[in-house]
Structure 1
């Protein structure tokens, strides 16, 4: 009976082994963390030193006192800091599409837990603001993956998650194959902002690719009273942000 119920629920819960206490990555029994064993959690720490602004791995010869890569020193991003778990490669290149396109919502709290383990919260933001989807795309998908991760992250950190501040008012073409410049043009006029009282926010997305979406929203938040914007994401792509 249990196996039949799990089989019916698998589109939402993921595979049966995920729900029955096996590590999502190595398929060994989990010890202290649902869905991921402590060994695999530790193994996800890809790089200890990353650029504060774009999260690119810093080379070993990079001076300890320099917190930015050379490119970000020459051309800084509009946000203050980008925090990620790692680069967009295994296992995130498999887990994130399973969450977004296969409806395996159980992966959202897992990814939130991994991100929480990596965050520097010495000076925490007032609020987590997920990157919004257009209502049509959210209706079609059934959820916004950034909101699902944000709500789980809020429960872990105690930082409120506010999904009402930003709205996507225009449905834009998928950006997967667009260049950085095309993405910026694609996003012009696509977002609106509601009245708020925040000054320090964390903008949350699943993946930061070129930084076009994060940059557009950061500038919009700055125009409406926010003084400090951090960008949080599960991972960044291997190419350098524009």
Structure 2
């Protein structure tokens, strides 16, 4: 019982490291908010040349990898901070399952620093949770990130475009094919005025969720769908 109460209170109270002014990662003193020292902030950035469609690291100057040239995904661009490597496998679950709402401003700032916005989208659309899962969790991590990202970029956040109409099992242990079947009929697109949007999620793993939603958004009249996420997993999407 005490553990559950502390977990619920953590977004408000923070952690002992927060109270003592210690960096979340290296536990060294720092005076930044959210609490990360300068060295750890720098280490979180992955400024490498990436494929514009799958965000895989690329050598040379080519904008699109060979795999995406042969079989392009259903979105027009994927932008991420970097690969799902330490410390992101610790930071993102801390937000998603630990309810640490001190993290969205930090992670949104890192993502904003990596975005190319020559033609900004008209709206940021967070990937929705089913109402029951959002009620149990208390928040939607993609929407929390979107609120911060909207303030940083000036692009409106619109969480009303996509409605999750069916609760689906957790996808953590599912293959790409199983994820696609799991998501069939799970979403509904509401009427909207947009032609260019950014679909926001925390991590792109197999691309099943982003792909399903990109196809639905295209069917609803949107001409250009960008996918924005904190990280992409390795190896290449299956």
Given the two structures, how large is their TM-score scaled by the length of structure 1? 0.90
Superposition deviation, residue 11 in structure 1: 5.3
1:2-151 to 2 correspondence within 5 Å?
Answer: 9-10=9-10, 12-30=12-30, 34-58=34-58, 62-64=59-61, 66-151=62-147
Cα distance in structure 2, aligned partners of 1:239 and 1:178: 15
Cα distance in structure 2, aligned partners of 1:18 and 1:113: 19
User: 5+ residue gaps in structure 2?
Assistant: 1-5
1:238 to 225, 229, 234: 234
* Aligned twin of 1:229: 225
Q: Which stretch shifts more, 104-113 or 123-132?
A: 104-113
User: 5+ residue gaps in structure 1?
Assistant: 1-5
Matched position secondary structure for 1:71: helix
Q: Report the CA distance shift for 1:8/1:177 in structure 2 as closer, same or farther (over 3 A).
A: closer
Superposition deviation, residue 203 in structure 1: 0.2
Q: Which stretch shifts more, 191-200 or 43-52?
A: 43-52
Q: Report the CA distance shift for 1:122/1:41 in structure 2 as closer, same or farther (over 3 A).
A: farther
Superposition deviation, residue 9 in structure 1: 4.2
Cα distance in structure 2, aligned partners of 1:30 and 1:69: 40
Number of equivalenced pairs = 233
Given the two structures, how large is their TM-score scaled by the length of structure 2? 0.91
Q: Deviations over 1:97-142 (max 9, x none)?
A: 1111111111111111111111111221111000000001101111
Q: Report the CA distance shift for 1:201/1:7 in structure 2 as closer, same or farther (over 3 A).
A: closer
